[in-house]
Structure 1
Amino acid sequence: MNTTEKTAPRTEGSAGGVAGDATTMRAAVYDRFGGPDVVSVERMPRPTPADDQLLVRLHAASVSVADHRVRARDVPRGLRLPTMFALGWRRPTHRVLGMDGAGVVEAVGAGVADFAVGDRVVLLRGAAFGCHAEYAVVRAAGAVARIPDELTFVDAAALPFGFGTAQVFLEAGGIAQGDDVLVNGASGAVGSAAVQLAKRRGARVTGVCSAGNAELVRDLGAERVIDYAREDFTSSGARYDAVVECVGNAPYRRARRAIRRGGVLLLVIADLAGIVGSKLRPVRHGIRRVQDTGAVTGTHLAEFARLAAAGDVRPVIDRVYPLDRIREAHAYVDGGHKRGNVIVTLADPS
């Protein structure tokens, strides 16, 4: 299946360029922080799998809000200094961005028994990044799973970041049958996944998005959609069992007005105050605040892939770019108006 939302800008096919030798690969690299122009496609050494790793020839990867934040150092309030330890002080710690991708296993480490060369897989490297390249390594026991033949690499690459993030937050929040759940930012990568996964848990879902994305969010399963330009969900008087905060504009002091006592605020995006507050005082005024969650696993990814292949969930894809146009992909994500996911193709995306 393929669920592109805007077909006009979509370009698929080989990343192009001159073929290199077996020890190098093409990758989108950046050596300084800044706008999309700091990213360039270069040749660099191809990784070699350790004994417990897979080497994956990537066909597609997402360009996410996380890539934007890291590249531009555009982090929530109070986090610029703390994140410099992870992102780098003067130069980026990780030259290649890309948290997730999908492709074919090219080689396996000596200790790997559960995967074989030729397996079609989806993977999540998370904060290790490195997926905006033709090859990446991942621990065989980590966040990697086979994908069904019915699922394209493009659709598979749209699963780990959005669905993985949404799932671990919904699990941490204990979202269950009959809960009233509001998703703030319901048309983004995480929000569009949260709407679908909350609905599958039996929740009644309200989505907050722009008027232009209302039909999409309803199609994904929201029973009600709020246009944020016309209504402030925190001031309407409605109360929810959970608010999934995917935008960064509804911290506890604002969102609490929309949450029932005994409910939960799931802080997918939080500033320093929100992070510290959720750790030091996780329950306040009878409302639980969750910012720290469990990790996305290979089991999670396998389930998302199965559901997507069967048509039971929908990976929302806004635009697809070849590797040579990755600056355009970054610029589009920087605009802050993407629907679901932006994907970059690194090889034949079929």
Structure 2
Amino acid sequence: MSGVVLTGHGGFDKLEFRTDLPVPQPAKGEVLIRVAASAINNTDINTRIGWYSKAVRESTAEGGTSEDDDASWTGEALHFPRIQGADCCGHIVAVGEGVDPARIGERVIVKNLLHSYVTGPFACWTFGSECDGGFAQYAKAPAAETYAVNCDWTDAELASMPCAWSTAEGMLHRAGVKAGETVLITGASGGVGSAAVQLARRRGATVIGISSKAKADQVLALGASRVVARGANLVAELGADSVDVVIDIAAGPGFPELPEVLKRGGRYAVAGAIAGPIVELDVRNLYLKDLTFFGCTYYDDVVFENLVSYIERGEIRPNVGATYPLERIVEAQQEFLSKNTGGKIVLIIPQTL
């Protein structure tokens, strides 16, 4: 089969498009998927460059890299070569022992955080990190974490959902966002941010997005009531103690203002640090305002199950910014890093060699 192999931590040269890869064989409890599309996510790039290492202090875009053993999101050394791709949309073409053959033919997406291979509190694998993922013509996954989805979306649209949307929904779930609350979302034009805008609106919250001025109209169209330009003084724009919840994907130099704009008893949820992982926190804001902070990676199964139900009921819509063929993955990641394109960037997987 054809696919893209990551040969180690480093630059784009570590990505190799090949046409001679073996087709994976589904083991007991697994299914084999003919992949139609897989989206680009920060975690793919962060893993490639080794950004998760504690030695890296720069933003993803600044290219902080590491080849240390702690350069994966788990802090444990990765095994190479690895087929990345946290997102997977396709059709089941074969099943392993113990899986109902009637599932063959289902159009599916794979839950990006897998619980089937590990046990323990907050234990999970990332599809495309601890096991091979969706950047290939075929991928295998646990049957229990491969979900049939009935909708009229394109493959690119459906592939844009698993990683970004489950991350966003997981943050809102952990923070307990409710109708009538005001939610501030950083990186609101990106994959996770744009998903969070729609999902927060779905819950009945008032959404304020932070994005570039060029993408403000996109964010408003997704359901935000207001957009604040990235880099603006949030306290001056919104006022201190003005929002109930912050959904943060960025961190970086703008972080110190986020606790300032939270109301007393407010909640802060974070699932990314694309603007930089090292921030300055005035701890007095944290304890004197009785704030609650949530670090969000792991999510309960109900988060993904709910996401599938939202799709099937037509309560959300995808935001695909661009598509590329799989063999142009380097161009796709360069465009992703440029932040010129709002929404998801999706790779279309060829069905023939």
Q: Shorter-chain TM-score: what band?
A: 0.7 to 0.9
Corresponding residue to 1:328 among 314, 331, 342: 331
Question: 1:315: Cα distance to partner?
Answer: 1.2
3-state SS of 1:66 partner = helix
Query: TM-score if structure 2 supplies the norm length?
Result: 0.80
Aligned residue for 1:192, secondary structure, equals helix
* Equivalent AA in structure 1 for residue 17 of structure 2: V
Query: Which protein, 1 or 2, shows the higher relative CO under an 8 Å CA cutoff with sep ≥ 6?
Result: 1
The two structures, once aligned, show a CA RMSD in angstroms of 2.9
Structure-2 separation of matches of 1:251 and 1:93: 36
Q: 2:350 aligns with which of 344, 347, 350?
A: 347
In the alignment, which residue of structure 2 is the partner of 1:32? 8
> CA offsets per residue over residues 272-326 of structure 1, 9 Å max, x none?
777xx9xxx9x633000000454263x5445434534554312111110111211
- Pick from 218, 221, 245 the counterpart of residue 220 of structure 2: 218
Q: Contact 2:94–2:101 at 8 Å: present in 1 too?
A: no
Q: 2:26 aligns with which of 49, 54, 62?
A: 49
Residues 100-135 of structure 1 deviation map (CA, whole Å, 9 limit, x = unaligned): 110000111121239611100011344230210111
Instruction: Please state whether the residue corresponding to 1:177 is helix, strand or coil.
Output: coil
Distance 2:112 2:81 in 1: 12
Deviation of the 1:202 alpha carbon: 1.0
Q: Which moved more, 1:305-314 or 1:168-177?
A: 305-314
SS of 1:261's partner is strand
The alpha-carbon deviation at position 93 of structure 1 amounts to 4.0
Farther off after superposition, 315-324 or 300-309: 300-309
The separation in 2 between residues aligned to 1:88 and 1:293, in whole angstroms, is 16
1:321 is paired with a residue whose SS is strand
Among 188, 191, 211, which residue is 2:190 paired with? 188
Query: Which moved further from structure 2: 124-133 or 205-214?
Result: 124-133
CA distance in 1, matches of 2:52, 2:340: 17
Partner of 2:121: none
> Which secondary structure state, in structure 1, belongs to the residue aligned with residue 234 of structure 2?
coil
- 302-311 vs 133-142, greater mean Cα deviation: 302-311
- Residue 4 of structure 1 is matched in structure 2 by none
Q: Which segments of 5 or more consecutive residues in structure 1 lack a partner in the other structure?
A: 1-24
**Displacement of 1:252:** 5.9
1:120 partnered with 2:107: yes
User: C-alpha separation between the residues in 1 aligned to 2:81 and 2:311?
Assistant: 31
Which residue in the other structure is 2:46 paired with?
A: 69
Q: Is the 8 A contact 2:251 2:277 kept in 1?
A: no
- Is the deviation greater in 172-181 or in 321-330? 321-330
1:334, CA displacement in angstroms? Answer: 2.4
Name the CA shift for 1:59/1:203 in 2 (closer, same or farther; >3 Å). Answer: same
- How many angstroms apart in 1 are the aligned matches of 2:311 and 2:91? 18
CA contact (8 A) 1:115 1:140 kept: no
Distance in 2 of aligned mates of 1:306 and 1:30: 33
Corresponding residue of 2:234: 233
Distance 2:336 2:244 in 1: 31
Partners of 2:255 and 2:98 in 1: how far apart?
Answer: 46
1:58 aligns with 2:58: no
The corresponding residue for 1:11 is none
Alpha-carbon distance in structure 2 between the residues aligned to 1:145 and 1:318: 24
1:96 to 83, 86, 95: 83
**The one of 82, 92, 96 aligned to 1:109:** 96
Letter in 1 for 2:43: A
Give unpaired runs (5+ residues) of structure 2: 57-65, 114-125
- Which whole-Å deviations, capped at 9, do the CAs of 1:210-259 have from their partners, x for residues lacking one? 11111111111101111124x22244324210011111226764421011
Task: Specify the code of the residue in structure 2 equivalent to 1:26.
Answer: S
The whole-number CA distance in structure 2 between the counterparts of 1:109 and 1:146 is 17
Partner of 2:208: 206
* Match in the other structure for 2:269: 266
CA offset digits 1:147-201 (Å, max 9, x no partner): 2151221111001111100111101001001111000110011100101111111
Indicate the residue corresponding to 2:122 in structure 1. Answer: none
The answer to whether the Cα contact below 8 Å between 1:186 and 1:208 also exists between their aligned partners in 2 is yes
SS of alignment partner, residue 207 of structure 2? strand
Which residue does 2:166 correspond to in 1?
164
Give the drift of 1:68.
Answer: 1.2
State how far apart, in whole Å, the 2-side matches of 1:115 and 1:326 are.
34
1:295 to 289, 295, 299: 299
Cα 1:149–1:291 change in 2 (3 A) is: closer
TM-score by length of structure 1 reads: 0.81
- Give, in whole Å, the separation in 2 of the partners of 1:199 and 1:82: 40
Per the alignment, residue 7 of structure 1 pairs with: none
C-alpha separation in 2, matches of 1:306 and 1:345: 24
AA partner of residue 88 (structure 2): G
| Distance 1:198-1:139 versus aligned 2 partners, 3 A rule | same
- Say yes or no: does 1:84 pair with 2:78: no
User: Is the alpha carbon distance of 1:209 and 1:181 closer, same or farther for their aligned partners in structure 2, counting shifts above 3 Å?
Assistant: same
